Amino acid sequence: MKRAAFLFATLSILVLTFLPVGRSAGHSFGFTGHVRIAPLPPAVTPPCDESIDSIDSCSNTGCGELGDALLNQSKNRFDAPASATNLTLDQIRALHEPLHWDTGQSRTTIQGPGKEGSPVAVSGFLLRVKPEGGESCNCGLTHRVDTDVHFALVSDPEDGEETSVTAEVTPRVRKHSHHDWLFKNLNDFEGDYVRVRGFLMLDTKHIAQAHKLPGERTNHNLTRATNWEIHPVTQLWRCTKSRKACDNGKGWEEL
């Protein structure tokens, strides 16, 4: 009996030693050993609530699985700059961008004068006008009134999209100041020489991550020359004369 009691006590100690010791925030323990699952960064968006049915009920940090709330905040501003620095498409193409960017990473290193958030104006040929779909920044909504309109700007009408710089018309700017900036209207200006004013923004969603979140896919680049964008567009003009005349300040029609 004493031998049996000793064996039982020994087995009990071993079982208690290797059983899960419970859960705490950001930790998970199992029979295969102590495995730590890192908590999601606070700047990663939560799942979208079913009650979100328009851009009015979508927060400026957005929502959706593994979305970047800080990037969404940069995308979702709708204030209009009082003045802007004139840049060429070549100058935007030449802006430095990091090789890697993790979802939810602080954006302080890419913000400031001449960087993200700087008001700029640029002219170019409107090679493509594309309707966007549901994204984390617009809470996954898909109605065109709630989604972006994508501009591909090029230096010459014969240039390919791989040389383009992106500018984005957003639903929040549309809602607050330019109600008719819908795809069905803006598509009419494809091929025109245009001028856009807005804010520089680095679309880090298309820069590969150095460290991926659990279950996150690798970010992939788009067909364009740079991930720097004019986003959002807050003013838009169409050239009604020659390119030379408009570059000299004559012939712009504001939309």
User: Encoding tokens for residue 99?
Assistant: 């090789």
CB 184, CB 249: distance < 8 Å: no
Q: Compute the average pLDDT of residues 238-255.
A: 96
The predicted structure's pLDDT at residue 32: 35
Q: d(Cα 102, Cα 208) in Å, to the nearest integer?
A: 8
For 33-79, what is each residue's pLDDT tens digit? 444 445 666 799 999 999 999 999 999 999 999 999 999 999 999 99
pTM of the predicted protein model: 0.83
Buried residues in 151-169 as b, exposed as e (16+ CB within 10 A): bbbbbeeebeeebbbbbbb
Q: d(Cα 117, Cα 98) in Å, to the nearest integer?
A: 17
User: Encoding tokens for residue 49?
Assistant: 């609530």
For 139-177, what is each residue's pLDDT tens digit? 999 999 999 999 999 999 999 999 999 999 999 999 999
**Residue 32: exposure state from Cβ atoms within 10 A (0-12, 13-18, ≥19):** exposed
For 109-146, what is each residue's pLDDT tens digit? 999 999 999 999 999 999 999 999 999 999 999 999 99
pLDDT of 106 higher than 70 = yes
Q: d(Cα 46, Cα 106) in Å, to the nearest integer?
A: 18
Q: d(Cα 30, Cα 81) in Å, to the nearest integer?
A: 54
The predicted structure's pLDDT at residue 208: 97
Residue 194 has φ and ψ, to the nearest 5°, of -130, 165
User: Encoding tokens for residue 6?
Assistant: 């000793």
Average pLDDT of the chain to the nearest whole number: 87
User: Encoding tokens for residue 81?
Assistant: 């700059």
How many other C-beta atoms can be found within 10 angstroms of the C-beta atom of residue 47? 10
Q: d(Cα 207, Cα 117) in Å, to the nearest integer?
A: 18
Give the percent of the chain with pLDDT over 70.
84
The predicted structure's pLDDT at residue 40: 63
The string of DSSP codes covering 76-126 is: T-----SS-EE--HHHHHTS---S---TT---GGGBSTTSBT-EEEEEEEE
Q: d(Cα 183, Cα 103) in Å, to the nearest integer?
A: 29
